[in-house]
Amino acid sequence: MADPLLSTSSGSDTGLPSNLGAGLCALFPLLGGLVFYFVEKKDALIRHWAVESIIFGVSIVIVKVAFAVLFALGTVLPGLHLLLVPLLLLLYWLSSMVILALYIIGIIKAFQGSRWTYPYVSAQGRKRFPNLVV
């Protein structure tokens, strides 16, 4: 007799249970999402989390690049760097904490097998890339 916890989803191209595939997408933002987006065509939960992972991963890259540019500008500006760099450090720390919290919540929700969207980020990503929607 087969163990029900080890059974695979019959509607999956990868052979993984839905929650495991979704969890892997959330665990590896952008890269995991891209892999599962192109490999998995049948399982709607994995596809959902693949799209969420792509959108969340791209938004992380955009935030990090924007801060890198702002830090570069802040260090070059002669009079403002004493005020701008500490403010940017604070904002960078706050944004990193928000990203970490969303990352952890996303991983938990994905491994639980529930559909969840990242606040604001998912809506903006789906608006800008309507073809990416499941």
Condensed to tens digits (0 to 9), the pLDDT of residues 121-130 reads 888 888 888 8
Each residue's pLDDT tens digit, 94-117: 999 999 999 999 999 999 999 999
* Residues in Cβ contact with 124 at an 8 Å cutoff, skipping those fewer than 6 apart: 59
What is the pLDDT, as a whole number, of residue 28? Answer: 96
pTM for the predicted model, two decimal places? 0.83
The radius of gyration of the chain's CA atoms, rounded to the nearest angstrom, is 19
Q: How many other CB atoms are found less than 10 A from the CB of residue 63?
A: 16
Each residue's pLDDT tens digit, 52-68: 999 999 999 999 999 99
Q: How confident is the model at residue 85 (pLDDT cuts 50, 70, 90)?
A: confident
